[in-house]
Structure 1
């Protein structure tokens, strides 16, 4: 038996380790478009730009890494993934969370609440923990929370027991052929659910609703509406919006998280800024209410309080000369930058720009024109594109185009443009490639530059 690991990043390394233990007599090959320097002894390596199309034909199974599009894989063998393997072998129900932004925060809030309630929880997936590494440690009384990107959902053959669909907007269009393919990948979180499974979706986002309305096993009625395989009802009848009071899920009213007109706890137990994080908390709490366990109001409050945010997600860095600096480097879409802008009432200096992923910046520019924004600092390869959107929206804030520069220069410029009482937000609305290794590197450089002011 020959097993090829297609893509040898963090998850590819995990997959090789797992499948070598599962199939000790198999022949293993690593295939990657880039050079591979850390291959284990006894494992062959194939590399090159065309490796996925030309050198997988002799495989019995190809294990796809998330970033490898299935359409690139040309093989007569079975195409599989670590996500498919985990869903196939996991001994407990899975809470799966997808969306364009907010996945990591929502997953982490679910985990924090469950741990506050004394439960054992495994957080895996796109948040950086390879799922197959956790699989041997999961027992029948545990819970699993899986952060699912479009890349992991691309060819998923099973759906989670509880699917949470956050706000969706166009993203990763440099990898997906178009937005339709991106959205279709998201639909796999719903597509294979059964009648007793749960789907929670964003209260106002039309694409999240479209995912929730995905027909079970592809069934449509004569009018083209999604239907349940078992009874023929509309699929949305079996899904629920979170953050609204009329769907029996958690929502916000008068400073409290509530469910079915009952107050759970005050919203100030949530330590994260922004209305979007109130929605994320509602999604997380709603998911927990769907589990067959009892969680007290005090445990909900304790769980919310215990989570102070993930790195590079609208994270407070420091206050310098009366100006507060926030690192939102993970904001790689215009929608996430809009959410960051709306999180603060104080005058803002916004740092945007980077590697373009095919996004449209007009809506972001319109939001900047509405907000109290003192200045916009534009960096990266797509600076001209963003500047054009700002011009079309008649943005009156000071606009400084720095293009390809250092983060030290960017922060120095932000310090000069800001005044006491302002907030400076790194929320790029673009990927980091070109100027930085990744969003983590970008955020860390921002933090260091701020601390050195």
Structure 2
């Protein structure tokens, strides 16, 4: 048997380790378009631009890394993925979470509540931990929270017991050929559900509804965030469910009204999975979660100006959400590698918001500037382009006034200048701390 690991990043390494243990007598090879540093000993390695179309014809099984589109892989063998393998072999119930933004936060909220209730929880997937790394330790009594990107869902053949579909907007159109293809990939989160499975979806987003109701699954579908479908919603200063108080909303330690929506999704997922959990566990679980790195995270206050790192905001919609989290004057830092998003709605939000200035960085700075000027010709734009993050932060510091907030919410990917959104956020934090 010949097995190829297609893509040798974090998940590719985890896949190689897992499948070598599962098939000790198989022949393995690694294929990647990029050069590979420190490949595994005694493993054949092929690299190059056309490696996925030219080196896999005689392979029995290709393990696809999420970022590699299935249509790029040409083989007579079976195309499989770590996500498919995990879903096929996991003995515990899986709560799967997808959406354009908010996935990691909702996964973490669910995990925090369940851990507070004494459950053994494994949080895996797009949030950073490869599922196959922890699969051997999972028991039927545990709970798995799986953050699922469109890349992981692309060719998924099973759906989780509980599927959570957050707000959807166009994204990754530099990889997905169309927005319809993106939606179709996302739909696999509930396409294969059975009669006792459940989908919880965003109450107003038409694409979330399209995924939940038109994917062909047999499960039940409910909207979170409104009282109509008996899920958790906000009424005043309380989270409510079926006209009963669950806990105060001040349990949520993260800024922004959208994080109350995220909490509604998380609490609804927990309630549908474990309806007997005491209500105080929701409060203490949410209270214990103070946020993930680079997700509208407060960095520091310098000279009366507060800086926030929202480097994970790689879409226009996520930047709009960050703007809405603050009433005070704002200095926004936008721009990066373009993913095909439409910045018109973001420009309109900038036009009507309390905006001190917008600093535009990265390779699509001019594109964003043109869109903003077409909607808000009086906007104070500072176009910097591809310059070091330290220069961007110094410009923000000289532009902002005491009482303002400076927000890094790029509304674009990081790969024009940075290794990842984590790298971009880390450089921002370091530059702020150096002021």
TM class by shorter-chain length?
over 0.9
Q: Deviations over 1:225-249 (max 9, x none)?
A: xxx5xxxxxx7xx311100011100
Deviation at 1:364, TM superposition (A): 0.2
- Aligned partners of 1:313 and 1:269: how far apart in 2? 18
CA-based RMSD: 1.0
Pair 1:341-2:323 in alignment: yes
Tell me the residue number matched to 1:198.
198
Tell me the residue number matched to 2:33.
33
Q: Deviations over 1:314-344 (max 9, x none)?
A: 0000011111100000000000000000001
Deviation at 1:58, TM superposition (A): 0.7
Tell me the residue number matched to 2:307.
325
Are the aligned partners of 2:188 and 2:215 in contact in 1 as well (CA < 8 Å)?
no
Pair 1:68-2:50 in alignment: no
- The correspondence for 2:287, drawn from 305, 313, 316, is 305
Tell me the residue number matched to 1:392.
374
Counterpart secondary structure, 2:273: coil
Are the aligned partners of 1:317 and 1:325 in contact in 2 as well (CA < 8 Å)?
yes
Question: Gaps spanning 5+ residues in structure 1: where?
Answer: 218-227, 229-234
- Aligned partners of 2:323 and 2:23: how far apart in 1? 51
- Aligned partners of 2:15 and 2:318: how far apart in 1? 31
Are the aligned partners of 1:365 and 1:395 in contact in 2 as well (CA < 8 Å)?
no
Q: Deviations over 1:295-318 (max 9, x none)?
A: 212111110011000000000000
Q: Segments of 4+ in structure 1 off by > 3 A?
A: none
Pair 1:114-2:96 in alignment: no
Q: Deviations over 1:174-212 (max 9, x none)?
A: 111111111110000010001110000001111000000
**What is the 5 A alignment of 1:213-362?**
213-216=213-216, 228=218, 238-292=220-274, 294-362=276-344
Deviation at 1:293, TM superposition (A): 5.1
Are the aligned partners of 2:372 and 2:379 in contact in 1 as well (CA < 8 Å)?
no
Bigger mean CA deviation after superposition, 17-26 or 36-45: 36-45
- Aligned partners of 1:160 and 1:42: how far apart in 2? 37
Are the aligned partners of 1:368 and 1:395 in contact in 2 as well (CA < 8 Å)?
no
- Aligned partners of 1:260 and 1:183: how far apart in 2? 31
- Aligned partners of 2:243 and 2:183: how far apart in 1? 34
Are the aligned partners of 2:153 and 2:189 in contact in 1 as well (CA < 8 Å)?
yes
- Aligned partners of 1:442 and 1:340: how far apart in 2? 17
Deviation at 1:294, TM superposition (A): 2.2
TM-score normalised per structure 1: 0.95
Deviation at 1:216, TM superposition (A): 2.5
Q: Deviations over 1:259-304 (max 9, x none)?
A: 0011111111100011111110000000000113522121111100
Counterpart secondary structure, 1:351: strand
Counterpart secondary structure, 1:76: coil
Are the aligned partners of 2:360 and 2:369 in contact in 1 as well (CA < 8 Å)?
yes
- Aligned partners of 2:73 and 2:290: how far apart in 1? 41
